[in-house]
Structure formats: C-alpha cells, structure tokens
C-alpha cells in the first residue's frame, strides 16, 4: 500500500479525490487530509506520506508554500487545482502531474500510475544501494531493511540486541536502547538473522549472541544480556542454545 494525503481547502474537493481513490485505486491508502498550508505541513511531518494530492490556492497560502517548507521531502506530488496558470511552477517542483478541476477520471488514473511507478523505482533504488553497501561490510556492519507502515528503516545487524514477538508484529531492541515495533512475524526475521548467528531461545525470542553476558540454567533456564534484560529459554530449545553458545 502507498500512503497518501489529500490537501485541499474545499471539503468537496477532498471528497472528490477521496471518492476517486476508493473507487479506482486499491494500491493507495489515505492516511490523512488537510485544509490549509499549516495543517498540511504538520500532517506531512507526522505521517511521512509517499504521495500528495495537493491543491494550489488555499485560504492560508498555496500548495507551493507547503513544498517550500519541506525542501528535503521525498514524496511524489499530484497537483489538483481549478486554475491552469500554475503549470510551469508545477514543473519547477517536479510534480508527477497537474490535474484541473473538475477532474477527469482517466487523467486521474494515469497520474496515479505514474506516481506508483516513480515510488516503486525509488524503493528499488534504496534496496539496490543497501545491497551494494552490504557486499562491502562485515556481518556486524551489514544492514537489514525494517518495514514500517509508511517507511523503510535500515539498521545495522550489529546494533540489534534482541527481538521479541508481539502478535503479528516484532519488537526490536537496539544497542542504543531504542525500541522499534516492526510489521512482520518473528519467524520472518528468524530466517533473515539466523545466518548472522542470532539464536532463537524461545518461540517469542531471538537474541544476538554478541550481547549475551551469561546463561543461567536454573529456574527453567534464561539468558542475561549486557543491557540487563533477561531472556527465557524454552525447555525444547535448551540443548540447542547450549550447543550454539559453546560454538
């Protein structure tokens, strides 16, 4: 799903774009709507969308004002406006397309498809850059991509202390004490991180052995990590964990 925001100071304009998306664009997920420049900038900073449907003339400024306040933004922009004199400015801001109201459905769909292709190409470029980076790194310096609802974050394997299952999500604990709630089951990350030496001690726990301080065999068995966390060892995995720690 590609996250998008609708920014228009007229409620009818927002409803029209929302209807076109809900009826024709299953790839898009509307994560918010705004009716002015200040509200839009705040919403964009919070939601980090991949695509904007952006009106130009609004009560407190223009769509160009929104973009000028977000110079490092990576989202795509489709301008939706009742005025046709802003075409050159739209090109200046590298808009994917420039749609005049009332919106023609076919032109709307063509603009959305162009945006989707551009977003997919950006994601592929990120993946390729990460692959190239990893080929020149030791295991601890290699990075994995962690998927969030509206972004991808790259984390060095050596900074991951442990993982813990949390329903259909996985909680990552990093060496800087940061916690990340990532979309995906622990099983997915077990397959990804086992080649880096990570040990599954329990149905719900995966541990980086570099952060293990000691193993306690009493009380069912558990690991004490350098960061102070205790990680349980299931009875069925106890012998495997002992053998892996012995190396």
Claim to verify: residue 22 and residue 117 sit in the same structural domain: yes
With CA atoms as reference, report the closest residue to 55 among 21, 103, 19. 103
What pLDDT sits at residue 180? 92
Residues 29 and 110 in one domain: yes
| Residues 79-127 pLDDT 10s | 999 888 887 677 767 788 999 999 999 999 999 999 998 888 877 666 6
**Quick check: is 82 in a domain?**
yes
Residue 182, domain extent? 139-246
163 close to 203: Cβ distance less than 8 angstroms: no
| Highest mean pLDDT of the ranges 10-24, 107-121, 187-201 | 10-24
What pLDDT was estimated at residue 37?
A: 96
Residue 133 lies in a domain: no
Tell me the average pLDDT of the chain.
87
Query: Beta-carbon neighbour count of residue 92 at 10 Å?
Result: 11
Q: What is the pLDDT of residues 127-155, one digit of tens each?
A: 656 655 666 666 767 888 787 655 667 88
Are 76 and 118 spatial neighbours (Cβ–Cβ below 8 Å)? yes
131 in a structural domain: no
Measured in whole angstroms, the distance separating CA 182 from the mean position of its chain's CA atoms is 9
Provide the CATH number for the domain around residue 64: 3.40.50.2300
* Percentage of the chain modeled with pLDDT above 70: 89
Residue 83 is predicted with a pLDDT of 84
pLDDT at 115: 93
Residue 132 falls inside a structural domain: no
Tally of structural domains, the chain? 2
Domain boundary among 125, 156, 180: 125
This prediction's pTM: 0.55
Task: Classify residue 130: in a domain, yes or no.
Answer: no
């Amino acid at each position: 799903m590609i996250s998008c925001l609708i920014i228009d100071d007229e409620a009818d304009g927002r409803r029209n774009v929302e209807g076109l998306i809900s009826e024709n664009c299953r790839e898009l997920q509307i994560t918010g709507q705004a009716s002015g420049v200040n509200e839009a900038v705040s919403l964009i900073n919070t939601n980090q969308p991949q695509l904007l449907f952006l009106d130009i003339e609004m009560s407190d400024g223009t769509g160009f004002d929104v973009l000028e306040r977000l110079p490092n933004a990576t989202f795509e922009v489709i301008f939706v406006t009742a005025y046709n004199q802003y075409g050159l400015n739209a090109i200046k801001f590298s808009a994917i397309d420039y749609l005049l109201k009332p919106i023609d459905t076919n032109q709307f769909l063509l603009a959305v498809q162009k945006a989707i292709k551009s977003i997919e190409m950006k994601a592929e470029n990120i993946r390729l850059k990460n692959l190239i980076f990893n080929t020149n790194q030791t295991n601890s310096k290699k990075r994995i991509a962690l998927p969030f609802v509206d972004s991808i974050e790259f984390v060095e394997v050596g900074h991951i202390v442990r993982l813990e299952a949390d329903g259909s999500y996985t909680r990552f604990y990093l060496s800087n004490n940061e916690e990340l709630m990532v979309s995906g089951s622990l099983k997915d990350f077990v397959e990804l991180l086992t080649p880096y030496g990570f040990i599954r001690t329990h149905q719900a726990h995966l541990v980086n052995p570099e952060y293990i301080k000691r193993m306690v065999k009493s009380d069912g068995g558990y690991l004490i990590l350098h960061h102070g966390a205790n990680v349980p060892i299931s009875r069925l995995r106890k012998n495997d964990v002992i053998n892996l720690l012995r190396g």
